[in-house]
Structure 1
Amino acid sequence: MKRIFELSYEDFFRLKKREILNTIKHSEGRTVMAECVISCPPLVYGVSNLELAAAFGADMVTLNTFDFDYPFVFGIDDEGLSLTRPWEFAENHRIKTAENRENPDYIKNIKNIVGRFIGVNLEPVPEEIKDFPKGRRVSKENLEKVKFYGFDYVVITANPNTGVSSDDIIKSLELCNEILGEDVIIIAGKMHAAGKENVFDEKIVKGFAINGADIVLIPAPGTVPGMDVDTAKRLIYEIHSEGALAMTAIGTSQEGSDKETVKNIALLSKMAGADIQHIGDAGFSGIAFPENIMELSIAVRGKRHTYRRMGYSLRK
């Protein structure tokens, strides 16, 4: 079995859910996920944030703020559209999202460009919060679209100030398993409080696994108040005891810190037993500083495997 940093371009299309999970487990804490905001122009004109994340060492790339009602990825779907003529851009944007909505190969075509496992965030936002986009909520309709488009995984989590609680996440997992089953990896947990509580309770993180999360995410040590390496290690032990994998997340804008901070968080997460290390999207323009993605990768798997992953970005 290949480890994740040994996968070729073709492997990212060939592997199914259980094979991907086994590959991650077999990689012994050396899997890197980068999250990207796709609803704003990318950091570098002419190339999407998703491509940048892949080029700097990510194995898994997560789309944040992707709206299933208006599917559009800046850096890819705006190619050839003029940002200097906003009235034309707005009209073309409407046409493009209408086309994307009906295209079963839409995300597959993006994956052809990026060459990595591609996932998407969905959020179980409480119904009383009316101004949150319907296309970004956990719902039967959106989960069916996850399968329709062929995403490799879905992340059930909470963006800042959404008011999502751990109970909201747990309640959503039954629907996720019912619809996604053995086709799509389910990741669940909180990177930060999101306007409610931080997660330090073993029963809660076990509850994510017991209720069907294949991978449970927790804040990385040093990213939220009180989350140190011992706390993370205790929570990861409980996650592993239920047969799930564990992911530590940098979701508190420290993805825009200096490289020493990122490397330190990465090593603490590895000491705690993380199977996957996530780096968030709050550097500039919806992506971590690209060099910080690379530094995280080097910290957990060295330059040899990091350069291999970066080099495979070019092999199609």
Structure 2
Amino acid sequence: MRRLISANTSEILLYSAEELKQSIKASEGRVILSENVAIHPAWINDLTNTELAASFGADLILLNGVDVIEPNLANVENQKDFVNELKKLVGRPIGVNLEPVDENAAMMDEVIEISKGRTVNEESLKALNELGMDFLCLTGNPGTGVTNKAIGEAIRLAKKHFNGLIIAGKMHSSGVDEPVCDEDTIKEFTEAGADIILVPSIGTIQGFDEEQLKLACDVAHKNDALVMTAIGTSQEGARPETIREMAIRNKLCGADVQHIGDAGFSGLAPVENIFEMSVAIRGLRHTVSRVARSVNR
């Protein structure tokens, strides 16, 4: 096993969940995850958003808005085997969002209903194994009513039915009136079995500062979990210098993975901002190594 930022496709796609986690840890805070809305046609209309993200420096690809029971991804020929098709195209680990919706959530805004194949349930989790999904992200899109309590329950269910890596946490409120991240929640998620704790990036959530992020990283690391900071507030479309500052500050606080969201053209961060984040946290050499490395290696 090699660190993810230096590994070849032939190595990466054979990693178990534990090996993938270790390869991320060994990369020492230099891993980038790009989230994209896979059901939207890409900015370049005969490609996928996955290809665009990978070509500008993403190490991990997170699919958003995908119904894993009845998939309908843009520019994918084999919908029943879309994960393996995307892996052949980009040679990167592929993951998907599933949302632990809480029917009793105290909402701050109107509720947006989503299909069964986008929520956490036994059928959708088993579908992930059949598809060959490498990792799962348990989180909430705006207005879906995902709570931390429901995420904790979803982690336990996922541990029973899914073989891959589990990321869990909230980037923003998801429309629910509750703290996005605190120490007790992180402990609960790690005890439930989460491999990576998702927390907001510096500069995204009101009042979530460097002291809180450092604490979150310390608590997660002490409990054998990694940390992913997330830009889920449309700031992925901000100026490159904003992305650069966020990325460096997140790394200083101890983040293992840095997520960049999907609120750009056609459901993908502006590609120059993916590249900007990459250069900021790992320099030009490792960035070029990642974008130039052939999937045939």
- Structures share a fold, TM > 0.5? yes
Q: Distance in 1 between matches of 2:212 and 2:143?
A: 24
Q: Distance in 1 between matches of 2:67 and 2:43?
A: 20
Q: Distance in 2 between matches of 1:283 and 1:269?
A: 21
1:122 to 98, 102, 107: 98
Asked if the contact 1:55/1:313 (under 8 Å) is kept, the reply is no
The size of the alignment, in residue pairs, is 290
Over residues 136-189 of structure 1, what are the superposed CA-to-partner deviations in whole Å (9 max), with x where a residue is unaligned? Answer: 000000000000000000000000011111111011111100112xx2001100
Q: 1:189 — aligned with what? A: 169
Q: 1:290 — aligned with what? A: 271
Q: Distance in 2 between matches of 1:38 and 1:127?
A: 26
Q: Distance in 2 between matches of 1:22 and 1:294?
A: 24
**Structure 1 position 37 matched with structure 2 position 37:** yes
2:218 to 237, 244, 253: 237
**Structure 1 position 74 matched with structure 2 position 74:** yes
1:258-277 aligned within 5 A: 258-277=239-258
**More displaced stretch, 223-232 vs 121-130:** 121-130
Q: Distance in 1 between matches of 2:2 and 2:292?
A: 17
1:170 to 133, 140, 152: 152
Q: Distance in 1 between matches of 2:27 and 2:37?
A: 27
State the TM-score, normalized to the length of structure 2. Answer: 0.94
2:118 to 136, 147, 162: 136
Q: Distance in 1 between matches of 2:43 and 2:122?
A: 33
**Structure 1 position 226 matched with structure 2 position 207:** yes
Q: Distance in 2 between matches of 1:49 and 1:200?
A: 29
Gaps of 5+ in 2: 105-110
CA-CA distance at 1:315 after TM superposition: 4.1
Equivalent position SS for 1:22: helix
Asked if the contact 1:49/1:75 (under 8 Å) is kept, the reply is no
Give 1:190's aligned amino acid: K
Asked if the contact 2:4/2:12 (under 8 Å) is kept, the reply is no
Gaps of 5+ in 1: 78-98
Query: Larger radius of gyration, structure 1 or 2?
Result: 1
Q: Distance in 2 between matches of 1:110 and 1:135?
A: 19
Give 2:165's aligned amino acid: I
Asked if the contact 2:10/2:296 (under 8 Å) is kept, the reply is no
| Distance change >3 Å, CA 133–CA 199, structure 1 → 2 | same
Give 2:131's aligned amino acid: Y
Over residues 28-66 of structure 1, what are the superposed CA-to-partner deviations in whole Å (9 max), with x where a residue is unaligned? Answer: 101110000011111111111000000000010000001
Give 1:40's aligned amino acid: H
Q: 1:161 — aligned with what? A: 143
Q: Distance in 2 between matches of 1:106 and 1:286?
A: 18
**Structure 1 position 7 matched with structure 2 position 7:** yes
Coordinate RMSD, CA, aligned: 1.5
**Structure 1 position 28 matched with structure 2 position 28:** yes
